[in-house]
A and B are shown apart, each in its own frame.
Chain A
Amino acid sequence: MVLVIIRTLILFTVTVIFLRLMGKRQIGQLQPFELVIIIMISELAAIPMENTGIPLLSGLIPIFVLFTAQVTLSYLSLRSEKARGIICGKPSILIENSQIVEDELRRIRYNINDLLEQLRSKNVADIADVEYAILETSGQLSVILKSEKRPVKPEDMDLPVKYDGLPITLVIDGQVINENIKKMNYNEEWLQQKLNESGINNIKDLLFASLDPDGTIYFQLKKGV
């Protein structure tokens, strides 16, 4: 029993490390070879976990080899366009100028119902509104609407807009994020001073605080403070 716990912890740790090193992608955004590798790794980790008769190395070595294969294929597809086409496949244009590309649908065995379903999930009800619909290698459908059907942008109406940057997080759950404060060329004393101006004496009382691009500090106190 204790053996199973130790082996489980080892395999779990190794699998998490390898999956973490593989990169930040969601399951739906995985390339086919990455999906295959993840399925295989989960199986490889599970078998020696439940069967103590199998050496741990029989699970760890294949996981390591699969991880190396994944990194190698990723580098190859990063370096060469041709390799990318072979490893990841190529995007398919399913709608071109509001016309369904029948041959392509047939070639990739993608039926019209699936196409309509995907369009509806992108809030597009009418094929006539679509300039291009492209099925990406990850299986996601990208939809480009006709220019007259796109939402209006400030640029279309020549409206001036002010710079809208990214708020920087300063405090989370009473903990100061020093890395972010340094990035803004400030220090903790500056933050304390700013908070004092707003009547907050202890940073620990803050649930969250962030700095807007215009210099305004947004904050929320912890419950009960």
Chain B
Amino acid sequence: MRLLASLLAILLVVLAAGFWTNHSLLQSTKDLSRQIERVSQEIKQEQWEAAQKQNRQLEKTWQEKARWWPIILDHQEIDNIEFSLAKIKEYVASHNLPLALGQLSELKLMIEHIPRKEAVNLENIL
């Protein structure tokens, strides 16, 4: 009975950690999306210097917020986001407006897709 009680207690902790992870994932995603929006705005106004600055900030936010993501997410998804960040950096540096905006849009979609995929809802369960 002691084993069962211990296991159920650990299960509760794991469950709570799962909900906390989903919450943190959502928060990190919101921060990253906001940052992507800022880069997009600067690019749309063709403020390339400011866009580069915002992009560096985006990379910094990504490093800070998503450090723990590989522990719970498929590593392929993380790689895809990093490839996308590298492309954006080059597009912004070469002042390529359409490609930079397109890549930013894809990045935003990839990042926002993660908490949606991890959310506890009937669609994901089924």
Contacts and interface: CB of A to CB of B under 8 A. Distances in A.
User: Which interface class (under 10, 10 to 19, 20 to 34, 35 or more) fits B?
Assistant: 10 to 19
Given A68-B8, A68-B11, A55 B3 contact: no
B14 A55 contact: no
A61 B75 CA distance: 17
Nearest to A72: B4
Interface in A135-167: none
Contacts of A54: 74-75
Given A54-B75, A64-B10, A21 B3 contact: yes
A57 interface: yes
B126 interface: no
Contact of B75 (A53, A57, A67): A53
A52 B74 CA distance: 9
A65 interface: yes
Contacts of B72: 55, 57-58
A75 B4 CA distance: 8
Interface string A90-102: 0000000000000
Mostly, the A contact residues are helix
B75 A52 contact: yes
A71 interface: yes
Contact of B74 (A21, A53, A61, A75): A53
Nearest to B70: A55
A68 B12 CA distance: 11
Contacts of B8: 68, 72
Interface in B62-81: 70-76
A157 to B, nearest CB: 47
A68 B70 CA distance: 26
B125 interface: no
26 contacts: A21-B3, A52-B75, A53-B75, A53-B76, A54-B74, A54-B75, A55-B72, A55-B73, A55-B74, A55-B75, A57-B72, A61-B14, A64-B10, A64-B11, A65-B11, A65-B14, A67-B7, A68-B7, A68-B8, A68-B10, A68-B11, A71-B3, A72-B4, A72-B8, A75-B1, A75-B4
10 residue pairs, one from A and one from B, having the closest CB atoms: A53-B75, A68-B7, A68-B11, A75-B4, A53-B76, A71-B4, A71-B7, A55-B72, A55-B71, A57-B72
Interface of A: 21, 52-55, 57-58, 61, 64-65, 67-68, 71-72, 75
